[in-house]
Homo-oligomer: A and B are copies of this chain.
Amino acid sequence: MRLLLLQLNPVIGDLPGNADRIRQGVVSAGPGSADLVLTPELALTGYPPRDLLLFRAFIGKVRQAAEELAADLEGYPPVLAGAALPNPSPVGRPLQNVALLLRDGKVVRSFGKTLLPTYDVFDEDRYFEPSRGPQVLELAGTKMGISICEDIWNDTDFWNQKRYHSDPIQELVAAGARCLVNISASPFTAGKQLLREKMLSGIARKYRIPLVYVNQVGGNDDLVFDGRSCAFSATGGLTARAAPFAEDRLAVEIAGETPGEVHPDDFTPESEIWHALVLGTRDYVRKSGFRQVLLGLSGGIDSSLVAAIAAGALGRENVLGVLMPSPFSSGGSVADARALAGNLGIRTAELPIRGIMGAFEETLAGEFAGMPRDITEENLQARIRGTLLMALSNKFGSLLLSTGNKSEIAVGYCTLYGDMNGALAVIADVPKTMVYRIARWLNARGPAPVIPEAVFQKAPSAELRPDQTDQDTLPPYDLLDEILRHHIEEHESAAEIVARGFDPAVVYRVAHLVKGAEFKRRQAPPGIKVTDRAFGTGWRMPLAARAWDLPPGT
């Protein structure tokens, strides 16, 4: 039994294009290349299609695309293609998330998804009616158990807590499956592939049958899919793995222990996150129809790293770095930004903001008469810069990247309509300490360091008033990031974090800042998710709410 796994990078909504990706994958492998070809989950629509699914006409076009694809592939091996179709019952949610079997020129059968993730970034109960009962496909004398993504994530032995009442994999095995197939669209987070492989290997070993897993690849808005489709033998051994963060095809022979191709990979967090951000940025920009990007270069570590990611994603010729010094900018910052741009080979523009600052202050002088300078004037500088960047974006048709990191976005150390401006917040889910780690990793990777050493050495600063540093306002970043991880990724309250031994004053202040910044994050650009809990679609907080997580006695 030979399977061909197509690890595809679909464009959301691009039904003809996505069908073409499948078609080309099958045709170029040839008529006799496999007994069955597998695509990722929802390969025709791309994952996640979100509310495109609510358009009945869109679903009609999905069905049509599947039928045309089946007809085009007559004479080739059967294909199991991910799609969304109407729920045939008049009761229940409107759709089903299915794997369609295309064979002999026709759509001959549909296998439905049973477990519908509705947590974090996932909303599948919004759209899909669950399938019920095991679905076995007999092909070339082998009974294959077909499952879709989440169906394989509820193993009784692997998890302490189970979100669902059934285990579709157990049911498939009980129904006689001698091989497990899972088509997925499983988003990247750092370290997730090791978890996937451990879980998948355990399931193969537990049931003593081979298991094949095909994953989507590519960036779709806030989600990056890392690919890494893989196969396991009946003893749980990894027998094949496709490339990380790139389209790939993987041929898998599921009889016996014959090892297939195992693509080399690097599971260190810095490497994984770097590659995820590069792919996520490239795909967001290109799938949005852009070729060029711009960003503000402050000479700090955040914008330096984002510039390097952008150059890696799109080519240095497609990146413009904009220096916008104010009277509060240090000479070092401008020099560091220029040096970084030189190292990367990207173009720069320099637009000092002193004149515009003066014009705003003059216009506002009457209203502000007699009032002291405060955060208003700091925000004003950030907003002038954000407006200049958008003017360049509009005039030259290039997409603006914002450069804020997760730590500062968490505590609101950023200006809405200012440095938060942008179509994509590249490192919005990367904590500040990880920003430094990735930058170090990048410099060490060679051939030559990219980010000037001075950028690492100076104290982080917004440079919005004289001699300002981030640590005037915030706890040290290593401490802040640890508190934030407990609070954001683990949903621990301040009291729970204090119970871990952290300073109560710091913890309650951080929790207070996080809550106070919800209104900014609601209007933030999408960021690229790399942790277990990113702000954005997986973080849905009320705005006009009372704080409940208060120090004892308040």
Please state if A545 and B287 are interface contacts (CB–CB under 8 Å).
Answer: yes
CA distance A164 to B525 in the complex (A): 35
Residues of B contacting A283 with CB < 8 Å? 544
A479 touches B (CB below 8 Å): no
State the oligomeric state as a number of copies: 2
Query: Which interface residue of A384, A492, A496, A546 has the most chain B CB atoms within 10 A?
Result: A546
Please state if B387 and A383 are interface contacts (CB–CB under 8 Å).
Answer: yes
**Which residues of A from 247 to 293 have beta carbons under 8 Å from B?**
283-284, 287-288
For A46-76 the 0/1 string (1 means CB < 8 A from B) is 1011111011111001000000000000000
Contact with A526, one of B355, B524, B543 (Cβ below 8 angstroms): B543
Q: How far apart are A318's CB and chain B's nearest CB, in angstroms? A: 16
Please state if B541 and A52 are interface contacts (CB–CB under 8 Å).
Answer: yes
A453 touches B (CB below 8 Å): no
Please state if B362 and A355 are interface contacts (CB–CB under 8 Å).
Answer: yes
A93 touches B (CB below 8 Å): yes
Q: How far apart are A35's CB and chain B's nearest CB, in angstroms? A: 32
Closest to A487 in B: B55
Q: How far apart are A86's CB and chain B's nearest CB, in angstroms? A: 12
Q: How far apart are A253's CB and chain B's nearest CB, in angstroms? A: 36
Given A49-B542, A540-B50, A540-B51, residue A360 in contact with residue B380 (CB < 8 A) = no
Contact with A288, one of B56, B287, B537, B544 (Cβ below 8 angstroms): B544
Residues of B contacting A90 with CB < 8 Å? 161-162
CA distance A251 to B394 in the complex (A): 60
Please state if B546 and A11 are interface contacts (CB–CB under 8 Å).
Answer: yes
Please state if B545 and A52 are interface contacts (CB–CB under 8 Å).
Answer: yes
Q: How far apart are A39's CB and chain B's nearest CB, in angstroms? A: 18
Number of interface residues of A (CB under 8 A): 96
Please state if A54 and B491 are interface contacts (CB–CB under 8 Å).
Answer: yes
Residues of B contacting A51 with CB < 8 Å? 539-541
A125 touches B (CB below 8 Å): yes
A349 touches B (CB below 8 Å): yes
Given A358-B359, A548-B58, residue A351 in contact with residue B375 (CB < 8 A) = no
Given A125-B118, A351-B364, A526-B543, residue A379 in contact with residue B391 (CB < 8 A) = yes
Interface of A toward B, CB cutoff 8 Å: 11-15, 17, 46, 48-52, 54-58, 61, 90-93, 118-119, 123, 125-126, 161-165, 219-221, 283-284, 287-288, 349, 351-353, 355-356, 358-360, 362-364, 367-368, 371, 374-376, 379-380, 383-384, 386-388, 390-392, 394-395, 416-417, 421, 423, 491-493, 495-496, 519, 522-526, 537, 539-549
Q: List 19 A-B contacts (CB under 8 A).
A: A11-B544, A11-B545, A12-B544, A13-B547, A14-B546, A15-B548, A48-B542, A56-B493, A57-B495, A61-B548, A92-B163, A118-B126, A353-B363, A356-B359, A356-B360, A364-B392, A375-B394, A423-B519, A526-B543
